[in-house]
Amino acid sequence: MKSAFVALTGRPSAGKSTLMNTLCGHKISIVSPVPQTTRNKVRGIYNDRRGQLVFLDTPGYFSGEKKFNSYMHDVLSGALSEADILLYLIDLSRPPGQEEELLAGLVKKAKKPLVIGLNKSDLPGADAAAANAMIDKFGLTGEKIVLSGLSGTNSGLLLDKLFAAAEEGEPFYPGEYYTDQDPAFRISEIIREKAILKTRQEVPHALYIEIADMEMREEGKRLWVRGFLCVQRESQKGILIGRGGAVIKAIVQEAQAELNGIFPYAVQLDFRVRVRPKWKNNDSLLKHLIR
Ligand SMILES: Nc1nc2c(ncn2[C@@H]2O[C@H](COP(=O)(O)OP(=O)(O)OP(=O)(O)O)[C@@H](O)[C@H]2O)c(=O)[nH]1
Ligand SMILES: [Mg+2]
């Protein structure tokens, strides 16, 4: 049997979470068109007769100076050093640019077995020439593979390459596990995804989810969860509530429907919107939220 930790890295929106979900066959990480959707190290577990691969989805590499970004960088660095294999995803639909080069430098410095995914190959503008030139410039020596995480192109081939790079070893998790996220995190993430998908501009970046209470009711048949969608400004709160509460209502309904398909009990959400102006500078909160 083989087993390995595989860290997924790439710029924001390169398609890391989508690919991990496709490979593992479950919705594990949340996905949206908004860059910096993933803020945590999210584990997705793939098992077959060859062994086990534990994928580490990470926040997209973003070269900003702010405190919030530095916490996400720490999550990424932790995953890169923890991993046995790196899976570096390059979005072929966007020119590489300076940020991609900074990340390529980090990948090179990690000195780990490397597989490079040339992703979003399904898009009409996908162009591998610029990505290949950058890979050569940095002397990245990993296996290269053209992918589409969205449509699953070459997923089987990618798994073959990852198992080829993996060492022999026992599985890290029992075979029936596909993630190790606790219910509170999973619930928060799914609410955050629905909120990101229903809002625009600055709201997704200003948002975090706070869970205040969780209580199992009706002899384990229903989990009641109370909490808050927290944003930085009154105007953002107004957007999230919507006219007559329509937006928050839709977010809660969609999140509940998805959660009911995940857990073996019903999930009942009681959520309101709150303003927390300076949360992105609050170290103890960031330490709890971004890990
Ligand atoms: N056409 C196409 N779109 C993709 C593909 N993979 C991801 N996307 C889209 O790209 C957007 C970003 O996808 P994510 O999987 O959230 O990207 P990510 O790298 O996890 O982004 P962050 O978490 O923000 O770093 C979403 O709108 C996806 O539907 C792909 O292979 N092809
Ligand atoms: Mg992501």
Q: How far is the CA of 70 from the centre of ligand 2 (A)?
A: 17
Q: How far is the CA of 156 from the centre of ligand 2 (A)?
A: 21
Q: What is the pLDDT of residue 31?
A: 98
Ligand 1 interacting residues, C-beta cut-off 6 A: 10, 12-18, 31-33, 35-38, 59-60, 119-120, 122-123, 148-150
For tokens 């890990």, the residue is: 291
Distance CA 217, CA 199 (A): 32
Give span(s): CATH 3.40.50.300, the chain.
Answer: 2-168
Which among 18, 29, 153 is the best mutation to test ligand 1's pocket, defined by most ligand atoms within 8 Å of the CB? 18
Q: Nearest CA to 29 among 60, 51, 53, 5? A: 60
Q: What is the pLDDT of residue 65?
A: 80
DSSP, res 173: S
Res. 201: pLDDT tops 90: no
Res. 89: pLDDT tops 90: yes
Distance CA 225, CA 218 (A): 14
Q: Which atom of ligand 1 is nearest to the CA of 123?
A: 1
Q: How far is the CA of 170 from the centre of ligand 1 (A)?
A: 31
Distance CA 73, CA 54 (A): 20
Q: How far is the CA of 125 from the centre of ligand 2 (A)?
A: 22
Query: Taking residues 5-15, what's their average pLDDT?
Result: 98
Q: How far is the CA of 194 from the centre of ligand 2 (A)?
A: 14
Q: Nearest CA to 132 among 148, 153, 116, 150? A: 116
Indicate the CATH number of 2-168 among 3.40.50.300, 3.20.20.140, 3.40.50.12160, 3.90.110.10.
3.40.50.300
pTM greater than the 0.95 cutoff: yes
Per-residue pLDDT tens over the stretch 120-164:
999 999 999 999 999 999 999 999 999 999 999 999 999 999 999
- Regarding the domain with residue range 183-289, which homologous superfamily does it belong to in the CATH classification? K homology (KH) domain (3.30.300.20)
Res. 76: pLDDT tops 90: yes
Which among 13, 63, 147 is the best mutation to test ligand 1's pocket, defined by most ligand atoms within 8 Å of the CB? 13
Q: How confident is the model at residue 55 (pLDDT cuts 50, 70, 90)?
A: very high
Per-residue pLDDT tens over the stretch 36-52:
999 999 999 999 999 99
Kindly report the average pLDDT of the chain as a whole number: 97
**Sequence-ordered strand ranges (E) for the chain:** 2-9, 42-48, 51-57, 85-91, 114-119, 143-146, 167-168, 208-217, 222-231, 266-275
Per-residue pLDDT tens over the stretch 219-274:
999 999 999 999 999 999 999 999 999 999 999 999 999 999 999 999 999 999 99
Give span(s): CATH 3.30.300.20, the chain.
Answer: 183-289
Q: How far is the CA of 225 from the centre of ligand 2 (A)?
A: 25
Ligand with the closest atom to the CA of 148:
1
Query: Taking residues 179-183, what's their average pLDDT?
Result: 96
Q: Which atom of ligand 1 is nearest to the CA of 31?
A: 16
Res. 63: pLDDT tops 90: no
SS3 content of the chain, % helix, strand, coil (to 5): 40, 25, 35
List the residue whose alpha carbon is closest to atom 26 of ligand 1: 33
Distance CA 134, CA 168 (A): 32
Share of the chain above pLDDT 90, in %: 98
